[in-house]
Amino acid sequence: MNHCTTTRKPATAYPNCGSAAIRQPRLLVAAGLVVAATSDAAAQSLDQQIRALLAKDGNQRGCAQLVGDSPRQAGSLQPSNFGPQLASLCGSIPAGNPPPVGGAPGGGAANNSAAGAAFSALGQADQVVKKRRGHADSDLGTTKGGGSGDWALLPGLNLFFNADYRELDRRQTELERGYASNEAGFSLGIDAMPVDWAVAGLAVNYSHWHGDQFNGGGFDTDSYGPTLFASLFPWQGFFADLSFQYLRKDGSNANRRDYLREDNTNFGGAISGTPGADQFEGNLSTGYDFTLGGLTLGPRGTLRYRHAAMDAYSEQGSSGLELRYLADRLTSVQSSVGAQASYAISTSWGVLVPQVNADWTHEYDNGQRTVYVQFAQDYRALPTTFGFQTDRPDRDFFHVGGGLVAVMADGWQAYANFEALLGHAYFDNYIGTIGIRLGL
């Protein structure tokens, strides 16, 4: 049995790159070779696929499925159109040595598709709108609670700044590796009230995500881009919030991949990559607030759409096991149903507004996927393309949160929030936010 272990970057730089046009092809043709791709009924990890492609045949020729009928050099039997390290791995294998016993180190899981699940579990643009909604609820509480005035140099125009910190841990599965990660970022924005029933604004966002995989290796992702948002409140109690966001994601990773051939020769080494993606997100949230003195509570509903276009890229290294990831696309469609409650408490210097919220989220899209790759040192005109699968998504999970807003004189607000992801099959996620808002 051959042994192969892979350690790669997950998450929002989106390294899982595959065919955008073909989700589950049954056959892949490469240089005269027809390779069967995996199906939903028999999910295959990246390690399993690599072991199958690099295995020798009865004539002691390495990489029998990968090379197929392509020409080999006389004597060494190395493929003619491979890079030096991959060609050496795929040459003639001495007979007589028993194959190694056991499974792939680390369980054979490939941490290439955490992007898919993290993409579904984490919000981006809706976080800006949630914070703006908290400001609006606090303003409403101020009018009920008395205390602070909201004087401003330019009535209706406000600046705000948010700083976020997130802890995100992923459980390891047969198909995907686990990791522990954290993300820190900020949003700087401005909003204005063009009419007395609407607020519109613009924010710029930046975050840095760092993660360490359980079996070694790590990754970093920088995300940046604008968010446009608007809040509409055409009649008492009702509101609708809309947001549109673009994020560019630039990633880097450093790890290693190893393969133990049938003759007990080990091939492997350090591997790095620079995956990237363009992400687009739109959100529509609505609700109705009921007031009882200083208490405000009401239902909330959200529709969320996210789409990521992931760049093709090639891993770097000198092991021969580096991969070339094809361009891919990822789409998530979610609904959330929940409730929020807040209470305005008057003080001598302003108003304190504690808030709590909870929701149930359902994922409609972002299904189990096949990721398509090629060996980077396969230089044939039609290199072998093969696929491996991601985990099936968790369709239902929950969010709970709480926060405190201080509304002060001259249009100032200070706030802190905490939110947790609950009941998700793969992720534990906690995010904290602090910020200020200034009426100009």
Q: Compare 114 and 375 and report the one with higher pLDDT.
A: 375
Buried residues in 389-407 as b, exposed as e (16+ CB within 10 A): bbbbbbeebebebebbbbb
β-sheet bridge partners, residue 258:
5, 268
Q: How many domains are contained in the chain?
A: 1
Ranges 199-203, 216-220, 328-332, 365-369: which has the least confidence = 365-369
Q: Are strands 290-292 and 313-314 parallel, antiparallel or unpaired?
A: unpaired
Q: Which residue has the tokens 């930046």?
A: 206
DSSP letter (8 states) at residue 75: T
346 belongs to a structural domain: yes
CA proximity to 54, closest of 358, 321, 393: 321
Average pLDDT score, the chain: 83
| Farthest-apart Cα atoms in the chain, separation | 90
The CA-based angle 364-137-350, given to 5 degrees, is 150
Check: CB of residue 227 under 8 Å from CB of residue 205. yes
Segment 143-170, tens digit of pLDDT? 433 433 333 445 668 999 999 999 999 9
Residue holding tokens 């509903």? Answer: 301
* CA 324 vs CA 195, 274, 355, 377: distances in Å: 52, 11, 48, 9
Tokens of 191: 């909003």
Cβ–Cβ under 8 Å, residues 212 and 181: yes
Beta-bridge mates of residue 418:
402, 432
Three-state DSSP class for 3? strand
pLDDT of residue 112: 42
Those residues whose C-beta lies under 8 Å from the C-beta of residue 374, and which sit 6 or more positions away, are 323, 324, 326, 383, 384, 385, 386
Report if residue 83 sits inside a domain. Answer: no
Output the domain CATH number for residue 259. Answer: 2.40.128.130
Percent of the chain with pLDDT over 70: 76
Which residues are bridge partners to 297 per DSSP?
A: 290, 341
For the stretch 1-51, pLDDT in tens is 444 444 333 433 333 333 333 333 333 433 334 343 433 445 689 999 999
Asked if residue 370 has pLDDT above 50, the reply is: yes
Round to whole Å and give the CA distance between 395 and 426: 11
Question: Distance between CA atoms of 278 and 64, rounded to whole angstroms?
Answer: 37
User: Tens digit of pLDDT for each residue in 390-430?
Assistant: 999 999 999 999 999 999 987 789 999 999 999 999 999 99
Q: Is residue 87 in a domain?
A: no
> Mean pLDDT throughout 192-220?
94
**What span, in angstroms and rounded, lies between the C-alpha atoms of 129 and 231?**
8
* Token reading at 203: 């924010």
The alpha carbon torsion through 316, 321, 325, 331 (nearest 10 deg) reads -110
| Residue 3 backbone dihedrals phi, psi, to 5 degrees | -120, 130
Give dist(CA 132, CA 399) in Å, integer. Answer: 18
Residue 121 and residue 421 in contact, taking contact as beta carbons nearer than 8 Å: yes
Hey, what amino acid is at 81?
A: N
| Total H helices, total E strands in the chain | 5, 23
In a domain, 420, yes or no: yes
Three-class DSSP labels, 308-359: EEECCEECEECCCCCEEECCEEEEEEEEEEEEEEEECEECCCEEEEEEEEEE
Six token digits for residue 387: 């696929």
Q: Which residue has the higher pLDDT, 338 or 3?
A: 338
Tell whether 103 is covered by a domain.
Answer: no
Torsional sign, CA 189, 335, 134, 239: positive
H helices of 196-288, in order, are: none
Could you tell me if residue 398 is inside a domain?
yes
Look up residue 179 and give its two tokens.
């990791």
- Residue numbers of the domain that contains 283: 114-439
Please tell me the predicted confidence (pLDDT) of residue 129: 58
CA nearest 277: which of 232, 308, 242, 323?
A: 308
Under 8 Å between Cβ of 357 and 367: no
Residue 118 pLDDT class (50, 70, 90 cuts): low
Q: What is the pTM of this model?
A: 0.82
- Specify the 3-state DSSP secondary structure of 400: strand
108 found inside a domain: no
Asked whether residue 7 is assigned to any structural domain, the reply reads no
235: how many CB neighbours lie within 10 A of its CB? 8
